[in-house]
Structure 1
Amino acid sequence: MPSFFIAHGSPSLALEENAYTQDLNALTERYDKPEAVVLFTAHWESPVTTISWRDSAYDTIHDFGGFQPELYAMRYPAKGSTAVAAEVERLLQQDGLESRRNEDRGLDHGAWVVLHHLWPDADVPVVQLSVNPFLPPERQYAIGRALAPLKERGVWIIGSGGTVHNLRMISWGAERAEEWAVAFDDWLLARTMAWDTDALFDYRSLAPHAVQAVPSAEHFVPYVLAMGSGDQKPELLHRSYGYGTLSHLLVRF
C-alpha cells in the first residue's frame, strides 16, 4: 500500500469540485481499498505522538470559523480501529518512540476534509495521530519510518498538512501563485525526488523563502512523516495553489 502527503487546504475544500479534488477522488480508483488509514493531522499537536484509540464512530470537529454554513452541517462518522492503533503503538515502541492513547478526540478538519474526498461513505477505519512541530525533521522522519510496516498489512499512511501555509500572506482572489511560494515548493520537490534527506532536514536554512512558507512547522511536518513511511520512489500527483499561497500538493511515497 502507498503512503501519501495530502495538503488539506482550506476547510472549504470539502465542498469544492476542482482539479485538485478530482485528483483526490481518483486515488481510490487507482489503488485497492485499504484495510484502514493511519493519518497524521496538522491540527492535532501534542508533545508525544498520540494515537486515537477507539472502534466506535468519531465525532466530527469543526475547528474553524467564518466559513460556509454547509461546512458546519457536514459529518464524517468514520469508525476507528483499536487493532490498528495497537499495531501503531507496538511499532513505535519497537523503535524506542514514545506514544500515548486518546479515547475521546474526534476527527478534525485536517483529517475529515481529506477523507471526505477519498471515501465519502466513511467506510474505511481511521486511526488519527498527532504531530509535535518542535521535533527536528530527522525525528519526524524516524516516526514515519517506524510505521512503514503497516503498509504491508493493507494500511494507507497519510500526512495531512500544507507545505506552504502562511495564513497572514494569503491573497484572497489571487489568480496565480506567488513566486516565493512556488520557489519553496520547487526546491522541496526537487530534493524529494532526489531523496536528499540531508538537505530536507535542513530546509529552514537551505530552502528559498522557508520562513515565509513555513512560519510554524505543524503543517509541514506531516510531509516529512509521510516521506519517512515511504520508499524512495516519490511521485507528484497534483500541484496547485489556493489564494496565491496555500499549496495543494499531493505526493505519493
Structure 2
Amino acid sequence: MGPAGTWSPFHADILRSYSWSVNICGRKKWLFFPPGQEEALRDSHGGLPYDVTAPEFLESHLHPVLEVTQEAGEMVFVPSGWHHQVHNLEDTISINHNWINGCNLANTWRFLQQELCAVQQEVSEWRDTMPDWHHHCQVIMKSCSGINFEEFYHFLKVIAERRLPLVKKIGPGEVRCSEDSGLGPQHAIFDISRIAEVLASVVVNPDFQRVDTSKFLPQPEDLLQQLQEALATTDPL
C-alpha cells in the first residue's frame, strides 16, 4: 500500500526468488533490468544505486530494458534475479508473493555463495585474529540475508523429505503422486532432480564443509545418496 509518488528503491527480490504483484487499485510503473545488466550500474565501491531515475543515470545510456505500467487488476511477474524499481503513479494497494521452487533453486544457492563471499571480503582483515572467523561470517550473513548455509541445507532437507515418499509411491502410468499432494509425478521428480543438483554443489563447497554438521539428520551426503537412488528408479524427464 502506498500513496501516489512513493516508490521502492532499486533491488532484486529476496534470495533471488520469483515474485508476483497484483494491483487491487491504483497504477504502478516498473523499471526492469535483466540479470547481469545491473553490473554496469555499480559504483567504484561495488554498490548498486538507490534510484536508477537519478539524473546521472537518465543522462547516460544505462536505461532499463523494460518499462511496464501496471493498471488496477493486472498482475506483474518478476523473474528470478531481475533488478527493478517500482513507482506508485496513483494511490495504490497491491498484493505480493515471493517463492522459490525447483526452477530457481540454483539461483538461490548461487546468491547465498555470493553473499557469503561479500561478507568474507568485508571482514577479511580479522581472518587471522578472530576465533571462529568462518562461523562469524555465517552469523553475519544470516543477519544480512535471513539465512545461512546451515539453514539452507535444512530448507533443502525439508523439501526433499516431502518429495521422496511421493516419488517412491509413483506407479507405472500414474498421473498424480497422491490425492493429498496435488503434485504430478514429473513435478515431484523434477524437484528431486533440482535438489540433488544443488545439494551436490553444497556438500563440496569449502565453506559448507566448515559448518558443523555432526548433528544433522540425515547427513548431507546421505540425503544426496537418497535423492540419487530415488532418481535412478524413475524414467528421465
Shared fold (TM-score, shorter chain, > 0.5): no
Normalised TM-score (structure 2):
0.24
TM (normalized to structure 1)?
0.23
Considering Cα pairs closer than 8 Å and 6+ residues apart, tell me whether 1 or 2 has the greater RCO.
1
Q: Which has the larger radius of gyration?
A: 2
